[in-house]
Amino acid sequence: MKTVFSPVELKHAPKNEISDGQLRPAVETPSRAEIVLKTVRDRGLGEIIEPLDFGVQPLQRVHAPDYLAFMEGFWDRWLAEGRTAQEAFPYVWPVRTLRADPAPEHIDGLLGRYSMDAGTPVGPFTFEAAKASANAALTAAQLVKDGGESSAFALCRPPGHHCGKDFFGGYCFLNNAAIAAQWLLDQGAHRIAILDVDYHHGNGTQAIFYDRPDVLFLSLHADPRHEYPHFLGHEDETGEKAGTGFTRNWPLPLGTGWETYSEALEEACRWLHVYKPDYLLVSLGMDCYREDPISKFLFNSGDFTSLGQRLKRLGLPTIFLMEGGYAVDALGTNCVNVLEGFETA
C-alpha cells in the first residue's frame, strides 16, 4: 500500500493546548507523523510519495470561502494586530442568543466565529500544513481512482474530522475526508462511504454531508455524553432531508474494548454492504488504544490488525486517512497494524 505524506505537514507544531481546564502541552505534535512514517518504512508497507498540489478548488467544494479566506490570512492579521503570542487561542464564541452575523471585525471575534473549541491553537504555519494534509488525502484518493491502487494511506496531519464547513477545532483545520469524498464525487463517483473509527465522533464530517444521500457517514466513537466533542454523535442523528438514513452513529461507553466495538463494526459493515459505495474512506484515528493519553477505550495493538482485516473483507476500493491517536510511542505500530492487516487479510 502506498503512503502519501508531505514534510510541510510538520510545520504545524503547536506547543500548548487547553484541555482539562488548563494550558497543557499539545498532544497533536509533528512527532505523531514522524513515528508513523518511520514505522511505514521499517515494516516495508510500501512506497512513500509526496502529494500533488490540488490547489484551492477542492477546498472550496467543502469549506466556506470566508472561512478559507480567514484561515489563509490569519497569521499576518494576528501579527498586524501586534499580537506577540506564537500561537492563537479562540476564547469567545457566538453561542445561544449571540449572533455570528454580521461577522465581527475584531480578531478575537473572528477566531471565535470560525472555531468550535479553545483546545486548537493556530500558529504561523498551521494553514500551510493543513493544506498539505488535505493534498495528501486528495493524492491518496487519486491513486485509488486513477493510479491502479486498490487502497492507499494518506498520512494526514493535522487531522480533519472535527472541522466543519466554516469552523476549526479538535486539532482540525480542513476536513481531509470530506475534501477527498467531494473530489471523488466531482470526478464521477456516485456514492462515497466514510467510516470514522476514531475514538471521537467526526462531528465536522457528519455535518458537511448530513442532508445528502451521496455520502454515507458511519461513526463508531465514545458516547458524546461523556466525551469530546460533547455535542454531536448520538444514535438518533440519522441525517436530514435527502440525507435521511445516510448517517449512522454508534456511541459506545467509556471502557469499550474490541469485543464490544467489533459488534458495532459488524453493524456498520452491513450498512456498507447495502450501500455499495464506489469508494470507502476510513477516518483512521488510533486513539481507541488503551494507552492513549486523552481517550478511554481499551484496544490492544493487535485489535488494530483485526480492524484492518475486517475492513479488507468489505472488498471496497479504500482510502485510509489518519485522524487522531496520541500514544506516540505505539502510534506507528497501531497505524501500520491496520494497514498491514488490511493488506494481508
Ligand X SMILES: NCCCCCC(=O)NO
Active-site positions read 162
Residue 210: C-alpha distances to residues 75, 160, 223, 239, 245 (Å): 31, 17, 19, 5, 9
User: 45, 340 in Cβ contact below 8 A?
Assistant: yes
Query: Which one of 145, 200, 212, 310 is in contact with ligand X (CB under 6 A)?
Result: 200
Q: Binding of ligand X at residue 119 (CB under 6 A)?
A: yes
Query: Which one of 287, 292, 303, 340 is in contact with Zn ion (CB under 5 A)?
Result: 287
Work out the burial of residue 296: count CB atoms within 10 Å of its CB; fewer than 13 is exposed, 13-18 middle, 19 or more buried: middle
E strand intervals along 163-311: 192-196, 215-222, 247-252, 279-284
User: 3, 44 in Cβ contact below 8 A?
Assistant: no
Instruction: For residues 155 and 322, give the distance between their C-alpha atoms in angstroms, rounded to a whole number.
Output: 5
Q: Which of residues 186-225 bind Zn ion (CB under 5 A)?
A: 198-200
Least Å from the CB of residue 285 to ligand X: 5
Which is closer to Zn ion, CB of 237 or CB of 317? 237
Tell me the residue nearest to Zn ion as measured from the CB.
324
Q: Binding of ligand X at residue 324 (CB under 6 A)?
A: yes
Q: Which stretch binds Zn ion (CB under 5 A): 127-135, 212-220, 268-276, 279-287?
A: 279-287
Least Å from the CB of residue 135 to ligand X: 20
Query: Which one of 114, 168, 171, 342 is in contact with ligand X (CB under 6 A)?
Result: 171
Q: Binding of ligand X at residue 204 (CB under 6 A)?
A: no
Residue 218 phi, psi dihedral angles, 5° rounding: -125, 130
Q: Binding of ligand X at residue 196 (CB under 6 A)?
A: no
Least Å from the CB of residue 130 to Zn ion: 17
Least Å from the CB of residue 171 to ligand X: 5
Query: Which one of 285, 308, 332, 341 is in contact with ligand X (CB under 6 A)?
Result: 285
Helix (H) / strand (E) containing 24: strand 22-25
Q: Binding of ligand X at residue 9 (CB under 6 A)?
A: no
Query: Which one of 9, 198, 237, 340 is in contact with ligand X (CB under 6 A)?
Result: 198
Which residue, 232, 254, 251, 229, is CA-closest to 118? Answer: 229
Extract the C-alpha cell encoding 110.
473572528
210-225 CB burial, b ≥16 within 10 A, e <16: bebebbbbbbbbbbbe
Q: Binding of Zn ion at residue 285 (CB under 5 A)?
A: yes
Q: Which does 196 bind (CB under 5 to 8 A by kind): Zn ion, ligand X, none?
A: none
